């Protein structure tokens, strides 16, 4: 499998996944409704695509002889609550288009991520198992349950090789996430470096599952490349580190002692409270060897290093 289409290519995860896939020898066709960042063009051929346009997607699959699709185009949880119809259109119609075109055009493999948002208030909150109650209360979460179930239906019905992983909040320095409930855990680093102060939109003790971008890229590529005969499940929990804003602020203060945080919870608190606090990823470990490499300390050092380079600022060591 060589020719891979990545949708949502200008987004947070794709912007780091595309260079990593390209370095592994894949020929990447990147696509988004937005303009590509300049660097993306070094690693991929860009084509504009609105995933809600099924025939435009089919044209691209045919023209570039696409063999695999990583379908990242999605409206995240907070933005989805502001505009549920947009989220329904992009997340639900977009997914249906990807699976249908993949099946009809004989694309070999699809990876379409899910999220911890697929869980809801009635899900066990601590060490949430892979297979458990899924009754999300956001449109984003509902679209992710649909992603998992429709993808698995295409496996059973048509033999499509579909895979999915439930991302926690992804923390990265290159591209901002935009529109998620876990965005505080990225914003805090920019503000700590630039203003030494951050007002957080969830309460200090809101424990949430998170993951550093290098772990996210490894998990995604590892699952995409896992031998199909080893997969009993098609959708996997992947855990990184769980922490609260207070815990993260304390860790940042070890490097930037003058940093202060205060709290002004908004509508995103209710979304955060409906999600798990920690994740059990035993199934991913057993079926395709997943292992997270980042502790909270590692994550903070990684983010401050990367962002200091990016923002051309200096941060003292403890």
**Which residue number, 12 or 218, has a Cβ lying nearer to ligand AKB?**
12
Which of the following is catalytic: 26, 43, 140, 167? Answer: 140
- Is residue 140 part of the annotated active site? The answer reads yes
248 burial (CB, 10 Å; 0-12 / 13-18 / 19+) is buried
The minimum distance between CB 115 and ligand AKB, in angstroms, equals 3
**Which residue number, 256 or 279, has a Cβ lying nearer to ligand AKB?**
279
- Cβ–Cβ < 8 Å for 224, 288: no
The minimum distance between CB 211 and ligand AKB, in angstroms, equals 10
**Which residue number, 101 or 212, has a Cβ lying nearer to ligand AKB?**
212
Residue from 7, 9, 31, 182 binding ligand AKB (CB under 6 A): 182
Helix pair 14-23, 213-225: axis angle to 10 deg: 50
Binding track, positions 60-79, relative to ligand AKB; x by CB under 6 A: ----------------xx--
Q: Which of residues 252-311 bind ligand AKB (CB under 6 A)?
A: none
What's the chain's Rg over C-alpha atoms?
Answer: 19
The minimum distance between CB 148 and ligand AKB, in angstroms, equals 13
Q: Which of residues 113-142 bind ligand AKB (CB under 6 A)?
A: 115-117, 140
Q: What token pair was written down for 142?
A: 């509902």
Catalytic (active-site) positions: 140
Q: Give the interface with ligand AKB as residue ranges (CB under 6 A).
A: 76-77, 115-117, 140, 167, 169, 177, 180-182
């Amino acid at each position: 499998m060589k020719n891979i289409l990545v949708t949502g290519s200008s987004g947070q995860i794709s912007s780091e996944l595309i260079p990593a896939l390209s370095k592994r020898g894949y020929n990447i066709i990147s696509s988004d409704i937005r303009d590509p960042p300049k660097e993306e063009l070094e690693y991929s051929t860009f084509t504009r695509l609105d995933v809600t346009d099924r025939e435009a997607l089919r044209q691209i699959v045919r023209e570039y002889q696409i063999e695999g699709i990583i379908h990242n185009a999605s409206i995240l949880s907070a933005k989805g609550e502001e505009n549920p119809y947009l989220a329904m259109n992009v997340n639900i119609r977009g997914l249906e288009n990807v699976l249908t075109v993949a099946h009809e055009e004989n694309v070999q493999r699809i990876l379409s991520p899910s999220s911890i948002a697929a869980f809801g208030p009635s899900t066990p909150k601590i060490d949430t198992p892979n297979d458990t109650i899924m009754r999300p209360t956001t449109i984003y979460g509902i679209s992710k349950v649909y992603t998992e179930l429709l993808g698995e239906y295409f496996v059973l019905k048509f033999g499509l090789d579909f895979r999915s992983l439930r991302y926690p909040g992804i923390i990265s320095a290159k591209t901002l996430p935009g529109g998620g409930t876990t965005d505080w855990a990225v914003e805090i680093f920019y503000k700590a470096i630039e203003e030494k102060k951050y007002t957080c939109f969830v309460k200090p003790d809101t424990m949430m599952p998170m993951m550093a971008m290098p772990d996210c890229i490894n998990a995604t590529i590892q699952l995409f490349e896992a031998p199909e005969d080893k997969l009993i499940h098609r959708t996997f929990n992947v855990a990184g580190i769980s922490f609260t804003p207070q815990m993260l602020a304390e860790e940042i203060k070890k490097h930037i002692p003058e940093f202060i945080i205060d709290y002004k919870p908004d509508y995103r608190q209710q979304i955060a409270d409906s999600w798990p606090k920690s994740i059990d990823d035993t199934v991913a470990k057993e079926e395709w060897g997943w292992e997270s490499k980042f502790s909270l300390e590692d994550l903070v050092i990684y983010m401050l290093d990367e962002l200091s380079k990016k923002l051309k600022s200096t941060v003292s060591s403890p």
